[in-house]
Structure 1
Amino acid sequence: MNPKIRTFKLPELASGYAGDISSGQYIELLEFANLDAPVQADEVRLEECRFTSVAVESLRNARLMQCELEQIGAPSLNAAGTFFNDVRVAHSRFGSADFAEAELDGVVFENCKFGWLNLRRAKVRDVLFRNCQFEEIDFGGQIQRVSFIDSRTSVLNGIGAQLRDVDLQGLDFAQVEGLESLRGARISSLQLSLLAEDMAQHLGIRVAP
Protein backbone atom coordinates (compact mmCIF):
# COMPACT_ATOMS: atom_id res chain seq x y z
CA MET A 1 0.00 0.00 0.00
CA ASN A 2 1.35 3.43 -0.94
CA PRO A 3 1.87 6.11 1.70
CA LYS A 4 -1.15 8.31 2.31
CA ILE A 5 0.31 11.77 1.70
CA ARG A 6 -2.03 14.64 2.48
CA THR A 7 -1.62 17.83 0.45
CA PHE A 8 -1.57 21.27 2.02
CA LYS A 9 -0.82 24.83 0.90
CA LEU A 10 0.74 27.34 3.23
CA PRO A 11 -1.00 30.71 3.54
CA GLU A 12 0.87 34.00 3.31
CA LEU A 13 3.58 33.99 5.94
CA ALA A 14 5.21 36.80 7.91
CA SER A 15 9.00 36.99 8.23
CA GLY A 16 10.43 35.20 11.23
CA TYR A 17 13.72 35.91 12.99
CA ALA A 18 16.11 33.85 15.07
CA GLY A 19 14.88 35.56 18.23
CA ASP A 20 11.38 34.19 17.61
CA ILE A 21 12.62 30.65 18.28
CA SER A 22 13.23 29.51 21.83
CA SER A 23 12.59 26.33 23.75
CA GLY A 24 8.92 25.64 24.47
CA GLN A 25 7.58 28.38 22.16
CA TYR A 26 4.44 28.04 20.03
CA ILE A 27 5.11 29.47 16.57
CA GLU A 28 2.77 29.72 13.59
CA LEU A 29 2.52 31.39 10.17
CA LEU A 30 6.18 32.47 10.00
CA GLU A 31 8.84 32.02 7.34
CA PHE A 32 12.48 31.72 8.41
CA ALA A 33 15.07 32.25 5.68
CA ASN A 34 18.86 32.68 5.58
CA LEU A 35 19.32 32.88 9.34
CA ASP A 36 22.87 33.64 10.48
CA ALA A 37 22.93 31.17 13.38
CA PRO A 38 21.96 27.47 13.41
CA VAL A 39 18.43 26.83 14.67
CA GLN A 40 17.95 25.15 18.02
CA ALA A 41 14.24 24.50 18.43
CA ASP A 42 13.96 21.92 21.21
CA GLU A 43 10.38 21.39 22.42
CA VAL A 44 9.07 24.08 20.05
CA ARG A 45 5.63 23.73 18.43
CA LEU A 46 5.59 24.94 14.82
CA GLU A 47 2.43 25.13 12.72
CA GLU A 48 2.23 26.30 9.10
CA CYS A 49 5.82 27.54 8.94
CA ARG A 50 8.54 27.45 6.31
CA PHE A 51 12.31 27.21 6.75
CA THR A 52 14.53 28.02 3.75
CA SER A 53 18.35 27.99 3.56
CA VAL A 54 18.71 27.50 7.30
CA ALA A 55 21.16 25.43 9.35
CA VAL A 56 19.46 23.29 11.98
CA GLU A 57 21.16 21.72 15.00
CA SER A 58 18.36 20.45 17.21
CA LEU A 59 14.63 19.75 17.02
CA ARG A 60 14.53 17.48 20.06
CA ASN A 61 10.92 16.86 21.18
CA ALA A 62 9.68 19.54 18.76
CA ARG A 63 6.29 19.32 17.03
CA LEU A 64 6.03 20.37 13.38
CA MET A 65 2.65 20.41 11.65
CA GLN A 66 2.07 21.46 8.04
CA CYS A 67 5.58 22.84 7.67
CA GLU A 68 8.00 23.07 4.74
CA LEU A 69 11.78 22.76 5.10
CA GLU A 70 13.94 23.48 2.06
CA GLN A 71 17.72 23.68 1.65
CA ILE A 72 18.28 22.71 5.26
CA GLY A 73 21.83 21.97 6.35
CA ALA A 74 22.51 19.84 9.41
CA PRO A 75 25.90 18.20 9.98
CA SER A 76 24.39 16.44 13.01
CA LEU A 77 20.64 16.83 13.54
CA ASN A 78 19.22 15.89 16.95
CA ALA A 79 15.56 15.22 16.20
CA ALA A 80 14.96 12.60 18.88
CA GLY A 81 11.39 12.52 20.10
CA THR A 82 10.10 14.91 17.45
CA PHE A 83 6.61 14.79 15.96
CA PHE A 84 6.32 15.55 12.23
CA ASN A 85 2.78 15.68 10.83
CA ASP A 86 2.31 16.74 7.20
CA VAL A 87 5.87 18.00 6.69
CA ARG A 88 7.79 18.44 3.42
CA VAL A 89 11.61 18.36 3.42
CA ALA A 90 13.37 19.12 0.13
CA HIS A 91 16.87 19.73 -1.25
CA SER A 92 18.45 19.28 2.17
CA ARG A 93 21.61 17.66 3.47
CA PHE A 94 22.07 15.86 6.80
CA GLY A 95 25.38 14.46 7.99
CA SER A 96 23.37 12.44 10.49
CA ALA A 97 19.68 12.68 11.30
CA ASP A 98 18.73 11.14 14.64
CA PHE A 99 14.96 10.53 14.74
CA ALA A 100 15.14 8.01 17.58
CA GLU A 101 11.76 7.67 19.34
CA ALA A 102 10.26 10.24 16.95
CA GLU A 103 6.88 10.04 15.24
CA LEU A 104 6.70 10.82 11.51
CA ASP A 105 3.24 10.87 9.90
CA GLY A 106 2.57 12.10 6.39
CA VAL A 107 6.13 13.26 5.61
CA VAL A 108 7.86 13.66 2.24
CA PHE A 109 11.65 13.80 1.87
CA GLU A 110 12.67 14.82 -1.64
CA ASN A 111 16.14 15.33 -3.12
CA CYS A 112 17.80 14.93 0.28
CA LYS A 113 21.16 13.45 1.28
CA PHE A 114 21.74 11.65 4.58
CA GLY A 115 24.85 10.22 6.12
CA TRP A 116 23.02 8.20 8.77
CA LEU A 117 19.24 8.16 9.21
CA ASN A 118 18.32 6.75 12.61
CA LEU A 119 14.71 5.59 13.03
CA ARG A 120 15.36 3.33 16.01
CA ARG A 121 12.29 3.07 18.27
CA ALA A 122 10.53 5.60 16.03
CA LYS A 123 6.96 5.35 14.76
CA VAL A 124 6.98 6.06 11.04
CA ARG A 125 3.78 6.04 9.02
CA ASP A 126 2.91 7.31 5.54
CA VAL A 127 6.37 8.58 4.60
CA LEU A 128 7.81 8.93 1.10
CA PHE A 129 11.49 9.25 0.18
CA ARG A 130 11.96 10.49 -3.39
CA ASN A 131 15.41 10.81 -4.99
CA CYS A 132 17.23 10.53 -1.66
CA GLN A 133 20.71 9.20 -0.90
CA PHE A 134 21.86 7.57 2.33
CA GLU A 135 25.02 6.04 3.70
CA GLU A 136 23.00 4.04 6.24
CA ILE A 137 19.33 3.70 7.15
CA ASP A 138 18.55 2.25 10.57
CA PHE A 139 14.99 0.89 10.37
CA GLY A 140 14.85 -0.21 14.01
CA GLY A 141 11.36 1.12 14.72
CA GLN A 142 7.72 0.66 13.70
CA ILE A 143 7.68 1.41 9.96
CA GLN A 144 4.34 1.40 8.12
CA ARG A 145 3.37 2.48 4.60
CA VAL A 146 6.80 3.82 3.64
CA SER A 147 8.02 3.97 0.04
CA PHE A 148 11.23 4.88 -1.77
CA ILE A 149 11.50 6.25 -5.31
CA ASP A 150 14.83 6.58 -7.13
CA SER A 151 16.77 6.34 -3.86
CA ARG A 152 19.92 4.52 -2.75
CA THR A 153 21.76 3.52 0.41
CA SER A 154 25.03 1.79 1.17
CA VAL A 155 23.65 0.00 4.25
CA LEU A 156 20.06 -0.94 5.09
CA ASN A 157 19.88 -1.97 8.75
CA GLY A 158 16.65 -3.73 9.63
CA ILE A 159 17.68 -5.09 13.05
CA GLY A 160 14.77 -4.66 15.46
CA ALA A 161 12.45 -3.25 12.80
CA GLN A 162 8.72 -3.93 12.60
CA LEU A 163 7.73 -3.38 8.97
CA ARG A 164 4.27 -3.25 7.47
CA ASP A 165 3.54 -2.32 3.84
CA VAL A 166 7.07 -1.00 3.26
CA ASP A 167 8.02 -0.75 -0.43
CA LEU A 168 11.78 -1.05 -1.00
CA GLN A 169 11.60 -1.53 -4.76
CA GLY A 170 12.77 2.03 -5.41
CA LEU A 171 15.73 1.75 -3.02
CA ASP A 172 19.09 0.50 -4.27
CA PHE A 173 21.13 -1.01 -1.43
CA ALA A 174 24.61 -2.49 -1.26
CA GLN A 175 24.38 -4.24 2.13
CA VAL A 176 21.53 -5.44 4.32
CA GLU A 177 21.76 -6.19 8.04
CA GLY A 178 19.00 -7.97 9.92
CA LEU A 179 17.39 -9.91 7.08
CA GLU A 180 14.93 -11.55 9.48
CA SER A 181 13.50 -8.12 10.33
CA LEU A 182 12.55 -7.29 6.73
CA ARG A 183 9.32 -9.27 6.99
CA GLY A 184 6.56 -6.98 5.75
CA ALA A 185 8.71 -5.35 3.04
CA ARG A 186 8.22 -5.54 -0.71
CA ILE A 187 11.26 -5.98 -2.93
CA SER A 188 11.83 -6.52 -6.64
CA SER A 189 12.98 -9.76 -8.27
CA LEU A 190 16.35 -8.11 -8.97
CA GLN A 191 16.74 -7.17 -5.32
CA LEU A 192 15.83 -10.74 -4.36
CA SER A 193 18.59 -12.10 -6.58
CA LEU A 194 21.09 -9.72 -4.97
CA LEU A 195 20.03 -10.93 -1.52
CA ALA A 196 20.01 -14.62 -2.42
CA GLU A 197 23.49 -15.42 -1.10
CA ASP A 198 22.92 -13.58 2.19
CA MET A 199 19.54 -15.27 2.62
CA ALA A 200 21.07 -18.69 2.02
CA GLN A 201 23.77 -18.04 4.63
CA HIS A 202 21.15 -16.81 7.09
CA LEU A 203 19.15 -20.02 6.63
CA GLY A 204 22.23 -22.22 6.83
CA ILE A 205 21.95 -23.31 3.18
CA ARG A 206 25.15 -24.19 1.36
CA VAL A 207 25.06 -23.25 -2.32
CA ALA A 208 27.07 -25.47 -4.65
CA PRO A 209 29.51 -23.65 -6.96
Structure 2
Amino acid sequence: MAPRIRRFTLPELAPGYRGDLGDDYVELLHFRDFDEPLAADGARLEECRFSSVQIEALRNARLIQCELDQSGAPALQAAGAFLNDVRVTHSRFGSADFAEAQLDGVVFENCKFGWLNLRGATVRDVLFVNCQFEEIDLGGQIQRLGFVDSRAGQITAAGAQLREVDLQGLDFAQVEGVDGLRGARISALQLSLLAEAMANHLGIKLGS
Protein backbone atom coordinates (compact mmCIF):
# COMPACT_ATOMS: atom_id res chain seq x y z
CA MET A 1 0.00 0.00 0.00
CA ALA A 2 1.31 3.46 -0.89
CA PRO A 3 2.16 5.94 1.88
CA ARG A 4 -0.82 8.01 2.99
CA ILE A 5 0.37 11.57 2.60
CA ARG A 6 -1.83 14.29 4.05
CA ARG A 7 -1.64 17.54 2.08
CA PHE A 8 -1.49 20.87 3.87
CA THR A 9 -1.05 24.54 2.97
CA LEU A 10 0.81 26.93 5.20
CA PRO A 11 -0.89 30.23 6.04
CA GLU A 12 0.85 33.58 5.80
CA LEU A 13 3.98 33.48 7.93
CA ALA A 14 5.86 36.18 9.84
CA PRO A 15 9.67 36.44 9.56
CA GLY A 16 11.50 34.18 12.00
CA TYR A 17 14.69 35.13 13.81
CA ARG A 18 17.41 32.99 15.35
CA GLY A 19 16.35 33.89 18.87
CA ASP A 20 12.85 32.54 18.21
CA LEU A 21 14.25 29.03 18.13
CA GLY A 22 15.21 29.33 21.79
CA ASP A 23 11.51 29.21 22.72
CA ASP A 24 9.83 25.94 23.64
CA TYR A 25 6.93 26.60 21.24
CA VAL A 26 7.36 28.21 17.83
CA GLU A 27 4.59 28.70 15.25
CA LEU A 28 3.74 30.54 12.04
CA LEU A 29 7.28 31.73 11.29
CA HIS A 30 9.44 31.66 8.16
CA PHE A 31 13.17 31.22 8.82
CA ARG A 32 15.07 32.29 5.74
CA ASP A 33 18.60 32.97 4.47
CA PHE A 34 20.67 32.56 7.63
CA ASP A 35 24.45 32.44 7.24
CA GLU A 36 25.08 30.33 10.36
CA PRO A 37 23.54 26.89 11.04
CA LEU A 38 20.34 26.79 13.09
CA ALA A 39 19.61 24.55 16.07
CA ALA A 40 16.20 23.76 17.54
CA ASP A 41 16.80 20.87 19.93
CA GLY A 42 13.69 20.16 21.99
CA ALA A 43 11.57 22.85 20.33
CA ARG A 44 7.97 22.39 19.17
CA LEU A 45 7.59 23.88 15.68
CA GLU A 46 4.14 24.18 14.14
CA GLU A 47 3.33 25.58 10.69
CA CYS A 48 6.83 26.90 10.08
CA ARG A 49 8.96 27.09 6.97
CA PHE A 50 12.75 26.97 6.62
CA SER A 51 14.25 28.24 3.36
CA SER A 52 17.90 28.38 2.29
CA VAL A 53 19.27 27.65 5.76
CA GLN A 54 21.38 24.97 7.39
CA ILE A 55 19.73 23.05 10.20
CA GLU A 56 22.14 21.01 12.25
CA ALA A 57 20.25 20.08 15.44
CA LEU A 58 16.66 18.85 15.88
CA ARG A 59 17.19 16.37 18.71
CA ASN A 60 13.86 15.62 20.41
CA ALA A 61 12.21 18.44 18.47
CA ARG A 62 8.60 18.23 17.27
CA LEU A 63 7.82 19.47 13.75
CA ILE A 64 4.14 19.59 12.80
CA GLN A 65 3.01 20.80 9.36
CA CYS A 66 6.39 22.30 8.50
CA GLU A 67 8.26 22.80 5.23
CA LEU A 68 12.01 22.72 4.70
CA ASP A 69 13.36 23.85 1.33
CA GLN A 70 17.08 24.02 0.51
CA SER A 71 17.67 23.42 4.20
CA GLY A 72 20.30 20.71 4.40
CA ALA A 73 23.38 20.37 6.59
CA PRO A 74 26.70 18.52 6.63
CA ALA A 75 25.41 16.55 9.64
CA LEU A 76 21.81 16.73 10.88
CA GLN A 77 21.38 15.49 14.45
CA ALA A 78 17.70 14.62 14.83
CA ALA A 79 17.69 11.64 17.18
CA GLY A 80 14.38 11.35 19.02
CA ALA A 81 12.67 13.96 16.84
CA PHE A 82 8.97 13.79 15.91
CA LEU A 83 7.98 14.81 12.38
CA ASN A 84 4.28 14.89 11.53
CA ASP A 85 3.12 16.18 8.14
CA VAL A 86 6.47 17.58 7.01
CA ARG A 87 7.80 18.33 3.51
CA VAL A 88 11.54 18.46 2.79
CA THR A 89 12.55 19.58 -0.70
CA HIS A 90 15.78 20.35 -2.58
CA SER A 91 17.91 19.71 0.49
CA ARG A 92 21.26 17.98 0.95
CA PHE A 93 22.52 16.20 4.06
CA GLY A 94 25.98 14.76 4.52
CA SER A 95 24.33 12.64 7.19
CA ALA A 96 20.86 12.69 8.72
CA ASP A 97 20.54 10.85 12.02
CA PHE A 98 16.92 10.03 12.86
CA ALA A 99 17.73 7.27 15.35
CA GLU A 100 14.78 6.60 17.69
CA ALA A 101 12.79 9.33 15.89
CA GLN A 102 9.16 9.21 14.75
CA LEU A 103 8.29 10.16 11.17
CA ASP A 104 4.63 10.22 10.19
CA GLY A 105 3.38 11.67 6.92
CA VAL A 106 6.73 12.99 5.68
CA VAL A 107 7.76 13.63 2.06
CA PHE A 108 11.37 14.07 0.95
CA GLU A 109 11.63 15.31 -2.64
CA ASN A 110 14.77 16.06 -4.67
CA CYS A 111 17.03 15.45 -1.67
CA LYS A 112 20.52 13.94 -1.34
CA PHE A 113 21.83 12.02 1.66
CA GLY A 114 25.27 10.70 2.38
CA TRP A 115 23.87 8.54 5.18
CA LEU A 116 20.27 8.38 6.36
CA ASN A 117 19.92 6.63 9.71
CA LEU A 118 16.48 5.28 10.65
CA ARG A 119 17.78 2.72 13.15
CA GLY A 120 15.36 2.38 16.02
CA ALA A 121 12.99 4.89 14.40
CA THR A 122 9.23 4.50 14.00
CA VAL A 123 8.37 5.40 10.43
CA ARG A 124 4.88 5.49 8.92
CA ASP A 125 3.62 6.98 5.67
CA VAL A 126 6.91 8.36 4.38
CA LEU A 127 7.71 8.95 0.71
CA PHE A 128 11.03 9.68 -1.02
CA VAL A 129 10.78 11.18 -4.52
CA ASN A 130 13.87 11.61 -6.71
CA CYS A 131 16.23 11.18 -3.77
CA GLN A 132 19.79 9.84 -3.64
CA PHE A 133 21.49 8.01 -0.79
CA GLU A 134 25.00 6.73 -0.35
CA GLU A 135 23.61 4.56 2.45
CA ILE A 136 20.20 4.21 4.06
CA ASP A 137 19.76 2.28 7.32
CA LEU A 138 16.22 0.87 7.58
CA GLY A 139 16.75 -0.76 10.98
CA GLY A 140 13.56 0.55 12.56
CA GLN A 141 9.82 -0.17 12.65
CA ILE A 142 8.70 0.95 9.22
CA GLN A 143 5.22 0.90 7.71
CA ARG A 144 4.06 2.25 4.35
CA LEU A 145 7.39 3.56 3.10
CA GLY A 146 7.74 4.26 -0.61
CA PHE A 147 10.32 5.44 -3.14
CA VAL A 148 9.92 7.05 -6.56
CA ASP A 149 12.87 7.48 -8.97
CA SER A 150 15.41 7.18 -6.15
CA ARG A 151 18.88 5.62 -5.89
CA ALA A 152 21.00 4.16 -3.08
CA GLY A 153 24.52 2.80 -2.94
CA GLN A 154 23.73 0.56 0.01
CA ILE A 155 20.70 -0.46 2.04
CA THR A 156 21.37 -1.66 5.58
CA ALA A 157 18.38 -3.71 6.72
CA ALA A 158 19.65 -5.63 9.75
CA GLY A 159 17.03 -5.55 12.49
CA ALA A 160 14.42 -3.88 10.28
CA GLN A 161 10.72 -4.54 10.87
CA LEU A 162 9.00 -3.74 7.59
CA ARG A 163 5.29 -3.65 6.75
CA GLU A 164 3.93 -2.52 3.38
CA VAL A 165 7.31 -1.15 2.33
CA ASP A 166 7.73 -0.71 -1.43
CA LEU A 167 11.33 -0.63 -2.65
CA GLN A 168 10.52 -0.92 -6.37
CA GLY A 169 11.22 2.76 -6.96
CA LEU A 170 14.66 2.56 -5.32
CA ASP A 171 17.66 1.47 -7.41
CA PHE A 172 20.30 0.05 -5.07
CA ALA A 173 23.73 -1.47 -5.49
CA GLN A 174 23.95 -3.72 -2.43
CA VAL A 175 22.15 -4.79 0.74
CA GLU A 176 23.55 -5.58 4.17
CA GLY A 177 21.31 -7.74 6.37
CA VAL A 178 19.16 -9.13 3.58
CA ASP A 179 16.94 -11.02 6.04
CA GLY A 180 15.72 -7.63 7.29
CA LEU A 181 13.92 -7.06 3.97
CA ARG A 182 11.14 -9.45 5.03
CA GLY A 183 7.86 -7.62 4.38
CA ALA A 184 9.20 -5.43 1.55
CA ARG A 185 7.99 -5.41 -2.04
CA ILE A 186 10.72 -5.56 -4.70
CA SER A 187 10.82 -5.95 -8.47
CA ALA A 188 12.00 -9.02 -10.40
CA LEU A 189 15.15 -7.12 -11.40
CA GLN A 190 15.88 -6.24 -7.79
CA LEU A 191 15.40 -9.88 -6.83
CA SER A 192 18.05 -10.90 -9.35
CA LEU A 193 20.44 -8.35 -7.86
CA LEU A 194 19.81 -9.81 -4.41
CA ALA A 195 20.21 -13.42 -5.48
CA GLU A 196 23.86 -13.78 -4.45
CA ALA A 197 23.34 -12.08 -1.06
CA MET A 198 20.29 -14.25 -0.38
CA ALA A 199 22.16 -17.41 -1.36
CA ASN A 200 25.04 -16.52 0.93
CA HIS A 201 22.63 -15.85 3.78
CA LEU A 202 20.97 -19.24 3.29
CA GLY A 203 24.26 -21.07 2.84
CA ILE A 204 23.51 -21.98 -0.78
CA LYS A 205 26.52 -22.51 -3.03
CA LEU A 206 26.20 -21.20 -6.56
CA GLY A 207 27.55 -23.28 -9.41
CA SER A 208 29.57 -21.84 -12.25
TM-score w.r.t. the length of structure 1 is 0.98
Give the whole-Å Cα distance in 1 for the aligned partners of 2:153 and 2:191. 16
Q: Does 1:150 align with 2:149?
A: yes
Residue 164 of structure 2 aligns to a residue whose secondary structure is: strand
Residue 107 of structure 2 aligns to a residue whose secondary structure is: strand
Aligned to 1:43: 42
Asked if the contact 1:47–1:66 (Cα under 8 Å) also holds between the matched residues in 2, the reply is yes
Equivalent AA in structure 1 for residue 150 of structure 2: S
Q: Does 1:15 align with 2:15?
A: yes
Give the whole-Å Cα distance in 2 for the aligned partners of 1:165 and 1:21. 36
How far off its partner does 1:64 sit? 0.2
Give the whole-Å Cα distance in 1 for the aligned partners of 2:130 and 2:28. 29
Residue 195 of structure 1 aligns to a residue whose secondary structure is: helix
Please list, as runs of the form range in 1=range in 2, the aligned pairs for 1:1-209 lying within 5 A after superposition: 1-22=1-22, 25-209=24-208
Equivalent AA in structure 2 for residue 20 of structure 1: D
The one-character-per-residue Cα deviations of 1:18-71 (angstroms, maximum 9, x if unpaired) are 11111x520000101001221110000000000000111100000000000000
Give the whole-Å Cα distance in 1 for the aligned partners of 2:136 and 2:78. 15
The number of residue pairs the alignment matches comes to 208
Give the whole-Å Cα distance in 2 for the aligned partners of 1:134 and 1:6. 25
Equivalent AA in structure 1 for residue 38 of structure 2: V
Equivalent AA in structure 2 for residue 19 of structure 1: G
Equivalent AA in structure 2 for residue 115 of structure 1: G
How far off its partner does 1:80 sit? 0.3
Give the whole-Å Cα distance in 2 for the aligned partners of 1:147 and 1:47. 25
How far off its partner does 1:95 sit? 0.3
CA RMSD of aligned residues (A): 0.7
Give the whole-Å Cα distance in 2 for the aligned partners of 1:157 and 1:87. 24
Asked if the contact 1:156–1:177 (Cα under 8 Å) also holds between the matched residues in 2, the reply is yes
Equivalent AA in structure 1 for residue 90 of structure 2: H
How far off its partner does 1:108 sit? 0.0
Equivalent AA in structure 1 for residue 15 of structure 2: S
Extract unaligned runs of 5+ from structure 2.
Answer: none
Give the whole-Å Cα distance in 2 for the aligned partners of 1:19 and 1:35. 12
Give the whole-Å Cα distance in 1 for the aligned partners of 2:107 and 2:125. 9
How far off its partner does 1:153 sit? 0.6
Asked if the contact 1:18–1:37 (Cα under 8 Å) also holds between the matched residues in 2, the reply is no
Q: Which runs of 4+ in 1 moved over 6 A?
A: none
How far off its partner does 1:73 sit? 2.3
Residue 73 of structure 1 aligns to a residue whose secondary structure is: coil
Give the whole-Å Cα distance in 2 for the aligned partners of 1:140 and 1:73. 23
Residue 198 of structure 2 aligns to a residue whose secondary structure is: helix
Equivalent AA in structure 1 for residue 48 of structure 2: C
Extract unaligned runs of 5+ from structure 1.
Answer: none
